[in-house]
């Protein structure tokens, strides 16, 4: 059974643009591409769901998307989306009911590394995180990136 997760049209547009990245010439789509040992430069949708399950999450498909799932991360729903090239994972979450100024969002972006924050069309603060696989990363680094985003969500909730 799939869980429905309401996502604003503006957020889906941002996520769709992030997934539109095309693979480099000569690179193939498909299963995780091993560069050496447990180093990967690409993942498939089944690779992502398997990894999330292995990490103890229960990925739920995002309605209408074959490459996006919701998971419970730090007490919040987070979206995990695989780019069409399979070379990037985008993670996203937001805080509702917390009206925040652009100055506060800018403060987050000036003082935090690796994540980015913005206000959606409803004025809710959103936070995103990317895990780039291009060039090769270890599966451990991908796992740690997902875990670290949980810490980012905690800090984001506390910040606002």
Confidence at residue 160, expressed as pLDDT on a 0 to 100 scale? 82
Residue 103: pLDDT over 90:
yes
- Alpha-carbon distance of 86 to 20, in angstroms, equals 10
Max intra-chain CA distance, the chain: 47
Inside any domain, residue 3: no
List pLDDT tens digits, range 10-22.
444 444 434 433 3
Helix (H) or strand (E) segment spanning residue 2:
none
Please list, in sequence order, all residues whose beta carbon lies within 8 angstroms of the beta carbon of residue 97, skipping any fewer than 6 positions away: 124
| Segment 107-120, tens digit of pLDDT | 999 999 899 999 99
To the question of pTM greater than 0.85 for the whole model, the response is no
Residue 4 is assigned to a structural domain of this protein: no
CATH number at residue 64: 3.30.1460.10
Report long-range pairs for 49-52 (Cβ below 8 Å, ≥24 apart): 51/139, 51/142, 51/143, 52/80, 52/146
pLDDT for position 33: 55
Q: Is 2 contained in some domain?
A: no
- What pLDDT sits at residue 55? 97
> In the chain, how many domains are there?
1
For the chain, the residue count is 160
The sign of the torsion formed by the CA atoms of 41, 55, 44, 81 equals: negative
Classify burial at 28, counting beta carbons within 10 Å of its beta carbon; exposed 0-12, middle 13-18, buried 19 or more: exposed
pLDDT, position 10: 46
Query: Can you give the residue range of the structural domain that contains 83?
Result: 9-17+30-159
Residue-wise pLDDT tens digits, 26-77:
334 445 555 555 899 999 999 999 999 999 999 999 999 999 999 999 899 9
Q: Is 42 inside any structural domain?
A: yes
């Amino acid at each position: 059974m799939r869980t429905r997760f309401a996502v604003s049209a503006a957020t889906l547009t941002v996520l769709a643009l992030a997934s539109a990245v095309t693979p480099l010439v000569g690179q193939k789509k498909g299963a995780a591409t091993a560069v050496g040992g447990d180093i990967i430069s690409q993942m498939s949708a089944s690779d992502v769901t398997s990894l999330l399950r292995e990490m103890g999450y229960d990925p739920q498909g995002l309605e209408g998307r074959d490459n996006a799932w919701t998971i419970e991360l730090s007490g919040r729903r987070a979206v995990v989306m695989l780019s069409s090239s399979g070379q990037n994972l985008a993670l996203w979450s937001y805080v509702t009911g917390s009206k925040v100024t652009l100055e506060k969002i800018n403060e987050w972006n000036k003082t935090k590394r690796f994540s980015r924050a913005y206000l959606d069309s409803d004025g809710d603060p959103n936070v995103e995180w990317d895990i780039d696989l291009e060039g090769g990363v270890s599966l451990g680094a991908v796992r740690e990136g997902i875990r670290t985003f949980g810490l980012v969500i905690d800090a984001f909730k506390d910040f606002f």
